[in-house]
Amino acid sequence: MVSSGIPALDSILTDGFPDRSSVLVLGQSGIGKEALGYWFTHSGLLQGDYCLYVTHRPVNDILRDMKAFGVPTDRVPEWIASAGSPTKCDLEDFTSISFNLKQAVLKNAGRRIRVVTDVVSPLLVLNPQPTMYKYWSKLLGDLKQSDCVILATAEEGMHSESTIAALEQQFDGIIELRLQVEGISITPLLRVKKMLGLAPLHGFFRFSVSNRGMEVAPYVE
Amino acid sequence: MSSDLWQPLEIALILFASGVFAFSSLRAFGASRVLVSQAHRRRALWDLVLGILTIPFEVAVLVFYFGPSGLTTEYLLSAAFGIAFNLVAFFFLNGTIMVAQAMDFFHRDTFRWGKTNIIVLGLFMVSIAGTLFSPVGGTLFNVLWVGIFAYGAIVLVATGLRVRDRAMRTHMKWIGLFAVVLSVPFLFRGNPYPLLLGFAVGSLVYYRATVSLLITARVTQAAGK
C-alpha cells in the first residue's frame, strides 16, 4: 500500500492507496482536490519515492499553493508543467505529455513512483472524448506496468454526467469531494466511491483543508 | 432628506434588497470558508465585501439624488461613499475579468481588457467626477458611467464563456448581469423607482451569482449518493 500522506484518509483506505493503481479525485473547482495531490507527493518525497507532477499550471503557482496549504516545499517533485520546468506540458500536444511521462517513469524503473496530474479535465475538454478515453486507458495501463501509483484530479463542473461515469471506469479508485448545504452552513464532504481491493464504502466524511494540513473526520448528519 | 422618499413601497423595496444582499454576503462568507483555491476564495471574499457595501450604497444613492440639495453633510457624505463604492465595484469587475482570463486554458485577453483597463479606469473616474460635480453635461457623464459598466459586463461575460469550469462560468455571467441591472437604472435617476427596482432585482441576481460559486448537493449517509 502507498500512503496518501493524510493519516485519516489512510485509515479509511486501510493503509493507503493500493500498489500499481490509479486514483481519480473528483470535485468542483476550488474545493481542494489539489491538496490531496500535494500531500501525496510530499509523503512520497519523504519516503524516497520518485515523484512526478504533471500540471497545466506553472510550477510557481503550484509551489505557492503548496505553501498556502502548509505542505513543506524543501523537497519538490520533478515537473512537467506549463511553465517553470525543463519539460513543458503542452495541452495541445497530448502525445508529448504521455511520451515525457513514460520516459520519466522508464528512467526511474526499479523505484516506487508517484505521479500526480491535473491534466485530465483540460485534455478531455480540448480533445474528442473517444480519443481521450483510449489515451487514458493506454497511458494508465502502461504506467501501471511499473511500480507506479497515479493520482489524477478532475473538475466535476467541466463534464457531463456520462463523461464522468466513463471517466470513473478508467480508474481503480475514485475519491469524491462534495459540498453539502445544511441551513446556512456549507459542509465539505469526502467519499471513497470505489477503491481497488476494498469493499464499496458508502459513507461520507467531513474534510477541511487549511495551512495546518488536511483533516478528515466522520460525518454525522 | 425629503419625507416623500420614504413611502411604504419604497421602504419595502429597500428592505427587501438589503435583506437579499445581506443573505448573499452570508453565503459568500460560507463559500470563502470552504473553497480553498485562491481564485475561488478571493471571488467569494470580493462577493462578501461588495454585498455588504451595496446596502449602504443604496441608501447613499437615494440620499444623493432625492435628499436635500446643496452641499449639506448628507449630500457630501453620500457623494464620498458613492465614489468609494464605485471604485470598489470597478476593481471587483476588473478582478473578476482577470480571474476569468486566468482560468481560460489559453489565457486569452478578451477585447484586450488586460491592456486597456487603465484607460477604462481613467474614463470611469472622469465619468464619476462629471456626474457628481459637473454643472453642465452631468447626464452625458452619467451615460458614460453606465456605458463603462455595460462594457465591463460584456467583457466579463465574453471572457466567462471561455472558462470551461461550470461554477466560475455561471458566476461570471451573473456578475455581468448584476453590473448591467445595477447601472442601467441610473439613466433614469430623476425617478427613484427605477433605482429601487434596480437594487431589488440586482440583489436577486447577486444572490444567484454568489451561490453559483458552489456546486452543492444533498447527500445522505444511507443512500450514499
Quote ipTM for the complex. Answer: 0.79
**Nearest partner of B225 among A71, A214, A46, A204, judged by Cα:** A204
For B117-165, what is each residue's pLDDT tens digit?
999 999 999 988 888 776 665 778 888 989 999 999 999 999 999 998 8
In chain B, the residue whose alpha carbon lies closest to the alpha carbon of A56 is B105
pTM of the model: 0.83
For A20-63, what is each residue's pLDDT tens digit?
999 999 999 889 999 999 999 999 999 999 999 999 999 999 99
Residue A37 lies in domain: 7-176
Mean pLDDT of the region B44-51: 94
Residue A44: which CATH number?
3.40.50.300
Chain-chain contact of A179 with B34 (C-beta, under 8 angstroms): yes
Distances (CA, A) of A47 to A15, A113, B205: 15, 11, 51
pLDDT at B72: 73
Shortest CA gap B223–chain A (Å)? 8
pLDDT at B173: 94
Task: Give a yes or no: residue A205 inside a domain.
Answer: no
The pLDDT > 70 percentage for chain A reads 100
In chain B, the residue whose alpha carbon lies closest to the alpha carbon of A188 is B34
pLDDT at B71: 64
Which residues in chain A are contacts of B36 at CB distance < 8 A? 30-32, 35, 69, 209
Is A199 at the interface with chain B, CB within 8 A? no
Q: Give the residue, A104 or A182, on which the prediction is more confident.
A: A104
Task: Give a yes or no: residue A166 inside a domain.
Answer: yes
Task: Give a yes or no: residue A212 inside a domain.
Answer: no
Contact B162, B185 (CB under 8 A): no
Task: Give a yes or no: residue A88 inside a domain.
Answer: yes
Q: What is the DSSP string of chain B?
A: --GGG--HHHHHHHHHHHHHHHHHHHHHHHHHHH--SHHHHHHHHHHHHHHHHHHHHHHHHHHHHHS--SS-HHHHHHHHHHHHHHHHHHHHHHHHHHHHHHHSTT---GGGHHHHHHHHHHHHHHHHHHHHH-SS-HHHHHHHHHHHHHHHHHHHHHHHTT---HHHHHHHHHHHHHHHHHHGGGGGTTSHHHHHHHHHHHHHHHHHHHHTT--B----TTTT-
Task: Give a yes or no: residue A204 inside a domain.
Answer: no
pLDDT at B1: 44
Lowest mean pLDDT among A7-16, A28-37, A201-210, B83-92: A201-210
User: Would you kindly state where each structural domain of chain B is located, as residue ranges?
Assistant: 3-211
Count of domains in chain A? 1
Which residues in chain A are contacts of B38 at CB distance < 8 A? 64-65, 68
What band does B96 get if pLDDT is binned at 50, 70 and 90?
Answer: very high
Contact A167, A153 (CB under 8 A): no
Is A203 at the interface with chain B, CB within 8 A? yes
Mean pLDDT of the region B10-25: 93
Highest mean pLDDT: which range of A120-124, A154-158, B74-78: A120-124
- Whether the pLDDT of residue B219 is over 70: the answer is no
- Topology classification of domain B3-211: Rhopdopsin 7-helix transmembrane proteins (1.20.1070)
Chain-chain contact of A31 with B34 (C-beta, under 8 angstroms): yes
Q: What is the mean pLDDT of chain B?
A: 86
Cα–chain-centroid distance for residue A180?
22
